[in-house]
Copies of this chain bind each other. A is one copy, B any other.
Amino acid sequence: MSIVTVVGNPRAGSRTHGAAVAATDAIAARLGHEGERDVVDLSALATHLLDPGAHAGLEVALDLVRGASVIVVASPTYKATYTGLLKAFLDRLPPRGLAGRTALPVLVMGDPRHALAVEAHFRPLLVELGAVVPTPGLALLESDLPGDEVLAAWADLVAPQIRLKESALS
């Protein structure tokens, strides 16, 4: 099993990508996880997400997410909430498609006025998918990046809420 990072920014190499990986690092370190770490960068899948046809890369990405114990789900704020890119990907999951998984919402925002989007919009989406979603979510201000202290404080709160079956991260 593995920890998977999902990056919902339409641009490759985005700050969201960097922040998402750093958030995943902070969680993995606290869980003592040294195993596999996959990153699903949705910018590479964008043109296939809304195409009803099958696409091998997209199927792999969905399988990775569904097979993970812990999923760090990151998005920049577009229109004061998560991106359509991310939502289009999560819409491909079946009902309660994240049941039994732990999902951690991470929002990278340009404007602090969008901070509550994590709790008001983003978390309810992951809860609807059946995921266990530790509290609080992470709202990172772009101008605070890399934001090591904010990340560390968040990971200290969240990691102890992640309950893994004994061999889950072996």
Counting CB contacts under 8 A, is A87 at the interface? yes
User: How many residues of A sit at the interface, in one of the four size bands?
Assistant: 35 or more
Counting CB contacts under 8 A, is A22 at the interface? no
Q: Mark A61-93, 1 if CB is under 8 A from B, else 0.
A: 000000000000000001111111111111101
State the number of copies, please: 4
Write the nearest CB–CB distance from A122 to chain B, whole angstroms: 10
Contact: A80 with B113, CB < 8 Å?
Answer: no
B residues near A3, Cβ cutoff 8 Å: none
**Contact among B51, B85, B117, B136 with A46 in the assembled complex (CB-CB below 8 Å):** B51
Write the nearest CB–CB distance from A142 to chain B, whole angstroms: 14
Residue numbers of A with Cβ under 8 A of B are: 10, 46-47, 49-52, 78-91, 93, 112-117, 119-121, 123-129, 131-137, 139, 160-161, 163
